[in-house]
């Protein structure tokens, strides 16, 4: 059995959301290393500076200052060194336009931020234990919008 920690990055400008996310990750039974950033500029700079140590999963909020989640996603998918990162859109928006545009730009899954902490834990745990190879091979609009 592997003891490798799952490398996770969260990019979210809301401090409360970052703290709740961190607490939820600590409460689930998946060994992780979590880095957090406040906006798309910070996360893209970090990814480019650490190409040899990319995360297993990047949780990306859509509504951030300086560079929003969609802009960050587009930039990553155009960069050959970053295009393969598994990207989970993690947003308060449930707008069909946001879901559609992030799907078309190559995100792997879309999660509307749960308002309940227990639901947040369950959602994060489910995402962290997903069989990503299977999920991405069957990716379509139906399984892109994540539901428990």
Structure token pair of residue 85? 């990162």
The dihedral through the CA atoms of 7, 13, 17, 22 has a sign that is positive
pLDDT tens-place string over residues 29-87? 889 999 999 999 999 999 999 988 999 999 999 999 999 999 999 999 999 999 989 99
This prediction's pTM:
0.89
128 closest CA partner among 17, 34, 15: 34
Q: What pLDDT is stored for residue 146 in this prediction?
A: 65
């Amino acid at each position: 059995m592997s003891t490798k920690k799952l490398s996770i990055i969260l990019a979210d400008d809301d401090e409360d959301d970052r703290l709740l996310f961190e607490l939820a990750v600590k409460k689930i039974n998946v060994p992780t290393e979590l880095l957090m950033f406040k906006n798309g500029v910070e996360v893209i700079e970090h990814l480019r500076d650490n190409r040899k140590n990319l995360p297993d999963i990047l949780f990306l909020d859509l509504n951030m200052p300086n560079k929003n989640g969609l802009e960050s996603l587009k930039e990553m998918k155009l960069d050959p060194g970053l295009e393969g990162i598994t990207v989970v859109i993690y947003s308060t928006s449930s707008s069909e336009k946001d879901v559609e545009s992030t799907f078309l730009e190559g995100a792997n899954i879309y999660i509307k931020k749960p308002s309940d902490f227990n639901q947040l834990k369950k959602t994060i745990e489910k995402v962290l234990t997903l069989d990503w190879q299977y999920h991405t091979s069957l990716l379509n609009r139906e399984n892109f919008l994540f539901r428990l």
